[in-house]
Amino acid sequence: MLQNNNQKIIKKISKRSFKVNKIRNIISIIAITLATVLFTSLFTVGVSMMDAFNSYMMMEYGTSSHVQMQDVDKSQIDIIKNDESVDQNSIGIIKNIDSAKNPEFLTQTVNLAVYDGQSVKNAINTEMIKGSLPKSKEDIVMPTEVLDMLKLPHKIGTEVNIDIPAAKDGTYTGENKTYKFKLSGYFTYKTATAIPLHDIYISDDFYNEYKKDNEIGPLCITFNFKNDKNLEKQIEGLINEIKPYSGKYSVNPAFLDNQVTNTSEFIRNALPVILLVIVILTSGYLLIYNIFYISVVKDIKHYGLLKTIGTSPKQLKKLIINQANRLSLIAIPIGLFLGVIIGKILLPMAMKFTTISSLKSIDSSNPAIFIGAIIFSYITVRISCMKPAKLASSVSEVDATRYSDRDSNIKRKAKKGKSGSKIHKMALSNMFRNKKKALLVLTSMSLSCMIFLSVSTIISSSDPKRAAEGMMLGDIEIQHGEAQNSRIHENIIPIDEEFIKDVKNLDGVKSVEKIYKDYLGLVAYEGAIKEELLSQPINEDHVKRFWQGYDYREIAATNKSVTLDISGVSSGKIIKEMIANNMLDYYSDGNIIEGKLDIEKFNKGGYIIIRGHENSKIKVGDKIKLKYLKGNTIEEGYTENEFEVMAIIGAGENFNMDVYVNEDDYKKIVPKSYVQNVVVNVDENVDEVEKNIEKLNEKYSNPYTHISSKRTYIEEAKENQVTITIIGMSGVFIIGLIGFLNFINTMVTNIMSRNQEFAMLEAVGMTKKQLKKMLALEGMYYVVIITFVNLTLGSLSTFLGFNIMKLRYSVYTYPIEALAMCIVLVLLVSVTVPLIVYKITSKESIVERIRVSE
C-alpha cells in the first residue's frame, strides 16, 4: 500500500469517533479510573511503608549517619576528619559526661552529653519543638518525656535540677552533686519509644568546667562516607588508619548492602504486593480490553470503509490508540486523586500490622507513587487496546462488511435431532457463540469472587481471643519491667511477696502463678552446655546483625562463660500453656520435639527443659550441670546445680539457649530471684478484679510494675480485624466492581447486537416469555460455571491467601458465608441484567427491529 500523510484527518476521525461512543467512553473512564485508584492506593501504601521502614531502621539505630564510633580520642577524630572517603559535612561529635541520678530516673537511663549542630541533625529520631541548643553553661535541652518525669512544664526558662555523680581524683565518691540549669529548648521523639534511654544536651562551657574536677565519658563520632556502598569494608579500612582503636563501632543497618539477604523473608514480604499488581493488571485488562473489543466489533464496518478509501493498518491502529490516550488523559488524573486519598486513609491502618506502628508521622508524598501509578495504569490501557487495534487494522474491506459476533474460526455443523431447538440448548449455544468474549467475562467475574473469598478467609480465620491468649497466659498479668535484668541493675525494686498474697486473697481470683526470668544469666562454658551450643546451626546474617561479625563461640571460649536465658515457673502447667499458645515460637516452631512434659514430676524439682534442635547433643534423660556465675568470671563464685533433662523444645539455633526449671530450682540457680510476671486467672468479674489489682499496685507503689488485661488485647485484636476488613474489602469492592462492570458491559452490548436476531425469533413464533427464559438460562450458566470455579480454584485461592498473609494465632476457616454471598450476587447480576436490557430494547415492534441494519 502507498504511504500517505493524513495525520490531521486521522486525529479528526478519532475525535469524532470519541464523541460518538459516549457509553463506551463513560464505562472506559470508570474502568481506567478504578484501575488507577487501585495502583495509586497500592503504591501509596507500599512505597510509603518502604520509606517508613528505612526511616524507622535509622531511628532505631539512633542516627541517619552511615557509621557511629564510640570511645574515640581527639587525634583519631582528626584522622577521620581528614580522610578522603569521609563526607566532612556529615561529621557530628558527641561528648558524653555521665548519667543523671535524679530519683525520678530510677527506671530510666538519662545521659548528659554535648551535641554539636550536626549531631542533632544526624539524630533522626528527635524533633526540636521549641528553643535552641545550649550556649551558656546553665543552658540545657531535654526531651519532653524527661520533663514529664520531673513534672516540669514545657516552657523555655524553666529551672531544672540535675543530680550527677561526684568524683574526686578520677574516682566516684558515691555521692551525687546537684547542678542547676535553665531550659533553653525541648524536643520529642518521632517514634513512641519504650526503651528507657534518653539524652539531654548541655553546653561546651559546662562540659569544660565539669571535666576539670570529674571523670568524663568517652567521645563519640557519627559520619557518612561519600560512597554508601561496601560500608563494612570502608569502616574496616578507616579503623586500620586510626589504630590502636579498642572502642565499639556500628554500621547503620538501613545502609547495609546485604540487608535483603533472606530470600524466603523477601519473597514473603514481596509476594503479596506482586500478586496484587498482577491482579489489578489482569482485572483492568479484562475490562478495558473487553470494552475496546466490543467497540471495535460494533464499528468494524466503519473501519472497513476507512480502509477502502486508503487508510493504512498503521493509521487504524493509531485511531484506536488515540482514543485510548484521550480516555487515559481524563481517567488517570481522576484515579490518581482518588487513589491518593484512599491510600492515605488505608496507610495508617496498614501500619498497625508492622513493627513500625509507633512511627508518629509517615511521608506519603514520594514521587515514585505517582510515577508508578501512571506507568502501570497506562501500560494496562495500552495492553488492553492492542488486540482490538490489531483486529481493526487487519480485517479486510470485504470481511468487515460481513463480520459476525460469532467466532470466525468455528466450523458450523448441521445439527440433527430435535433437542437443538430446546430453550436450554439454545441458551448454552448463545453463551459460547463468541468463546473469547464468554471467557473474558467468566475470568473477570471469577477473579473478583476468588479475591473476595481469599480476603474473607483471612478475616474469618483471625481469632481475637486466640491472639490475646498468645500474648498473655492469664486473664490479668502483673508485669515487672526490669526483673529479667536484675543481674546488671542493682537498684531494682522486686515485686513484693505481700502484694502477691493480697492478689491471691481477692474475691474472684481463681489461681495465681509466677514466672521468673533472667535474660542475661552467665553460666560456665563447659560440659554438656558447651557441646549443645556448638552443635547448633549458625546463620551468617544473624552473626552480622547481632554480633557485628564476631564469632561468639570464640568469645565464649575466651570468657569461659556464655549467656543463658533462664526461666523459672511456679508450675509446669505454665510451660504447657506457653507451648499451646505458641508463645515459644519466637525463633520458629516452639513445640516439644523430644520427651514429654510431666507436670507433677516437674513441679517436684530436679528437672530441666531446654531449647534444642533435631541434632541436639543433649538428650532426654541426660544429667546436665549448670554453673551460674555470681559475677562476670568463675573466680568470683558460682552456684552449681545438676538437673535431669525432661524434654527438648525445638528451634535452638544461632548460639542461643533457653532453659526452664521450676520455681524452687530457679531460686537455687539465680541468687537474685525476681518475679517477672504474676499470672492471674479469675472466675468472673474480670473488670472488678482488675480494678482491685490496680488499687493494690498503687498501694505498693512499685515504679517497675504495670497491669495488663487479656480483655484489652482482645479489644485490640478486634480492632485489627476491623482494619483488615476495611483494607481488604476496599480492594475487593473496586476489583469486584471492575468484574461486574465487565459483565454488565458485555451483556448490554451482546443483547443490543442481537436485537434483530431476537426480533426474527419472535417473528417465527418464539414468545417474549421464552426469550426471557433463554436469557435467564444464559445467566444461570454463567452462575454455574463461576460457582464451579469458586469451589475449585476459589478454594485453592483461599488456602494460598491464608498462607501468604497468615497472621499469628490465626486458624484456617473456609468462608462458607462469603461463598454463599458471592453466588447470590452473581445470580442476581447474571439473571436480572440481561432481562432489564432486553425489556428496554424490545419496546419497538418486531418489524421496526428487523428493519434496523447491523
Cα separation, 610 vs 619, in Å, equals 10
67: β partners: 223, 251
Give the pTM.
0.61
> Using an 8 Å Cβ cutoff, are 243 and 54 in contact?
no
**Average predicted confidence (pLDDT) for the chain:** 80
Three-state SS for 169-181 is CCEEEEEEEEEEE
Inform me whether the pLDDT recorded for 544 exceeds 50.
yes
CB-count burial class (<10 Å; 0-12, 13-18, 19+) for 554? exposed
pLDDT, greater one: 418 or 381: 381
Cα separation, 581 vs 590, in Å, equals 10
Taking the CB of residue 665, how many other CB atoms lie within 10 A of it?
Answer: 21
For range 217-226, the mean pLDDT: 85
* Number of continuous H segments (helices) and E segments (strands) in the chain: 29, 20
pLDDT, greater one: 639 or 316: 639
C-alpha cell at 582: 505458641
C-alpha 551, offset from chain centre: 32
Whose grid coordinates read 561479625?
549
DSSP run (H or E) holding 516: strand 509-524
Q: Which residues of 291-326 are buried (b: 16+ CB within 10 A; e: fewer)?
A: bbbbbbbbbbbebbebbeeebbbebbbbbbbbbbeb
* Alpha carbon separation from 274 to 258, 277, 278, 313, 581 (Å, rounded): 22, 5, 6, 36, 32
Contacts of 516 (CB under 8 A, 6+ apart): 483, 567, 568, 569, 663, 666, 667, 670, 673, 674, 675, 676
Cα separation, 734 vs 731, in Å, equals 5
C-alpha 450, offset from chain centre: 22
197: β partners: 109
Cα separation, 739 vs 733, in Å, equals 10
Domain map (residue ranges) of the chain: 1-63+268-403, 67-251, 413-463+715-854, 518-673
Region for 508 from its dihedrals, namely left if φ exceeds 0, alpha if ψ lies in -120 to 50, beta otherwise = left
C-alpha angle 434/435/439, rounded to 5°?
A: 125
- Residue 10 DSSP SS3: helix
Band (pLDDT 50/70/90 cuts) for residue 141 is: very high
Peptide bond into 244 cis (omega under 30): yes
- Residue 45 DSSP SS3: helix
* Alpha carbon separation from 604 to 260, 512, 514, 676 (Å, rounded): 48, 18, 16, 22
Band (pLDDT 50/70/90 cuts) for residue 258 is: very low
pLDDT, greater one: 319 or 628: 628
Taking the CB of residue 379, how many other CB atoms lie within 10 A of it?
Answer: 14
Cα separation, 723 vs 352, in Å, equals 9
C-alpha cell at 178: 546537684
Contacts of 631 (CB under 8 A, 6+ apart): 637
CB-count burial class (<10 Å; 0-12, 13-18, 19+) for 497? exposed
Nearest Cα neighbor of 133 from 81, 203, 190 is 203
Write down the pLDDT at residue 49. Answer: 62
Nearest Cα neighbor of 661 from 581, 724, 605 is 605
Cα separation, 788 vs 784, in Å, equals 6
Inform me whether the pLDDT recorded for 730 exceeds 80.
no
pLDDT, greater one: 182 or 446: 182
Helix, strand, coil shares of the chain, percent, nearest 5, are 55, 20, 25
Nearest Cα neighbor of 44 from 379, 459, 371, 358 is 371
What are the pLDDT digits (tens) for 794-824? 888 888 877 766 665 677 888 898 899 989 9
Inform me whether the pLDDT recorded for 286 exceeds 70.
yes
Which of 444-448, 457-461, 548-552 shows the lowest per-residue confidence on average (mean pLDDT)? 548-552
Which amino acid would we find at residue 729? Answer: M
DSSP run (H or E) holding 69: strand 67-72
- Residue 494 DSSP SS3: coil
- Residue 702 DSSP SS3: coil
Which amino acid would we find at residue 125? Answer: N
- Residue 512 DSSP SS3: strand
DSSP run (H or E) holding 575: helix 572-580
Most confident of 70-74, 152-156, 366-370, 428-432: 152-156
C-alpha cell at 394: 487487519
Inform me whether the pLDDT recorded for 260 exceeds 60.
no
Which amino acid would we find at residue 579? Answer: I
Band (pLDDT 50/70/90 cuts) for residue 513 is: very high
Share of the chain above pLDDT 70, in %: 82
